[in-house]
Amino acid sequence: MHWTRGPYLVSDERERLDLERIHAFLTRSSYWAIGISPELVERSIEHSLPFGLYRVDGPRPLQVGFARVTTDRATFAYLGDVFVVEEERGKKLARFLLECVHAHPELQGLRRWLLVTRDAQGLYSRLGWNVVAEPERIMEIVRRDLYRS
């Protein structure tokens, strides 16, 4: 599947993904995956439904964003690793990327979606996400700084 808006393309085609660029962002620029190994990034993508955001008006497409959904494609989805590179921010590209994720045919009719974010609640709330209504029902195991050596 792919969607276009101006000079940008969102695609779920794994072959298009720039794994080196994704890894570089996650390990250097994210707050949630500092130090993650290239092998672990590749494995996480292999077992998810990935979405690449590309600028396609140059000599070759350049990946400028990413998101992935871990899902059974029937009842549940976890949205993670969402980013747009700094030089492309402020163009509503994260919104475009997430609208495409939400529109994907394999993600329709799910009973529950979850995500964890430190600072993007405003973006997600504009797309229909809410703070957990009954947090006492949700449990977690968190291993902070797992990837740092």
The structural domains of the chain, with segments of one domain joined by +, span 2-137
pLDDT, one tens digit per residue, over 42-80 is: 999 999 999 999 999 989 999 999 999 999 999 999 999
Q: Put the strands of the sheet holding 8-11 in their side by side order.
A: 2-5, 8-11, 49-55, 62-71, 76-84, 112-115
Q: At what angle do helices 19-28 and 38-46 cross, to 10 degrees?
A: 120
Structure tokens that stand for 134 in this block: 């009954």
Which one, of 10, 18, 22, 3, lies nearest residue 54 by Cα?
A: 10
Alpha-helical (H) ranges within 30-108 are 38-46, 93-103
Q: Is 19 strand, coil or helix?
A: helix
> Which CATH homologous superfamily contains domain 2-137?
Gcn5-related N-acetyltransferase (GNAT) (3.40.630.30)
Rounded mean pLDDT, 98-120: 96
Percent of the chain with pLDDT over 90: 92
Q: At a CB cut-off of 8 Å and minimum separation 6, what does 6 contact?
A: none
**pLDDT the model gives residue 143:** 85
Across the range 18-26, mean pLDDT stands at 97
Alpha helices in the chain (DSSP H): 19-28, 38-46, 93-103, 121-126
Q: Closest Cα to residue 63, out of 49, 53, 48?
A: 53
149: confidence class by pLDDT, cuts 50, 70, 90: low
pLDDT of 80 reads 97
- Which residues have a Cβ under 8 Å from the Cβ of 32 and sit 6 or more positions away? 26, 81, 116, 118
Tokens encoding 118: 């430190």
Residues 112-116, mean pLDDT to the nearest whole number: 95
Whole-angstrom Cα distance, residue 92 to residue 100?
13
